[in-house]
Amino acid sequence: MRTLVTLTLLLLCGSISLGQDMATTQMDRAEMRQEILAEADFLQRELNHLKNVVKFVRPSVVHIETTTANNSGYASSSQVDEAGAGIVFQQGTSFFVLTNRHVINQAPLERIKIYLEDGRVIKAKRVLTDRDTDVAVVEVESDRLIPAEVGDSSEVEVGEKVFAVGSPFGLSQTVTYGIISAVGRRNLQLGRQGLKLQNFFQTDAAINPGNSGGPLFNLRGEVVGLNTAIASNSGGNDGIGFAIPIHAALGVAEQLLENGQVARAFFGVRMDADFDAAAANKIGLFRARGAKVSGITPGSPAEAAMIEVGDVITKFYGQEVEDDLQLINIVSLCPLDEDIRVEIFRDGKFVEKTVRLAARKQFED
């Protein structure tokens, strides 16, 4: 009898315990469900933001096609020689499309077709290009054009999320997403002729042939770069794309529109070619970075900014300076008539200066 009672009690206790476990599991699942819903709402808001940014930017992006002439001297409607993208900007009351020189490919005006996002086709009035930077400006005339918002490319940092819009393989208005992988990329072998002046952003946002000339833009919907090139063993996207910082590209564009040519910026310092890790350590820098000033050009912007012999220039226009050659590239791509922040290392301290660069031609005559 006692055995039967004991067994009955054990079964009852087991049922109660099992019921409690099931109730606990249901409560845990209910709490988990609420957590999932809360996180999903947060992620959906973030996703909605990304979608809104893309909708905001796309009307300012154009698809560009150039055609070649056939043997009769006329262009074939189906023969596309080059395809790429461009960005609409406004200067005063005029509009222009910023793109890459290699997208235009020296095509005559009548063989350049520019497609807006709404399907309209507009014509090029004038084309100006700069070989050293691969920047091209196409002056256009049309109504209801939407210019892009411009970001501060000197503030772009590694890890920042970015979008790329372009026409990979002729597929216009294609959007990809990634991060800034590196800044200040240079000494790259790009194309047959290469580019003389290089100071690129590197991104893993998918860039393929046809993305050239399109924008690289940030989470605020601001253009920070002009997509220009890829590094690829396959000819397609390998996760390594390059963009010209937008301040540099627009600086070139504005000079082309105003003067028909580009005046390279001039700083006015000579640099110590023997500056190395040992020399850096001796003055208190823990690694060999920057460019050490060994001379100042009289009357130059550097003199006006009170740069001194012995200073080490560690940052220029928001970019870390690794060595002399990089400083030359950065300066050459900087805009004129704009205050540029310069960080120097002097007497064991980092000091910030402001300089306004001049045209190199003024000091060559």
Q: Which residues are catalytic?
A: 102, 134, 212
Residue with tokens 């200067």: 91
Count CB-CB contacts under 10 A for residue 159: 7
Can you tell me the distance from the alpha carbon of 328 to that of 77, in angstroms, rounded to the nearest whole number? 44
Angstrom distance (rounded) from CA 137 to CA 27 = 63
Which residues on adjacent β-strands are paired with residue 315? 320, 343
182 CB neighbour count, 10 Å cutoff: 13
In the structure encoding, which two tokens stand for residue 175, read together? 């959007």
| 8 A C-beta contact, residue 156 and residue 216 | no
Tokens of 345: 């290392």
CB 202 within 8 A of CB 150: no
Q: Which are the contacts of 185, defined by CB distance < 8 A and separation ≥ 6?
A: 198, 199, 200, 201, 202, 242
DSSP state string for 89-101 = EEETTEEEEEEEH
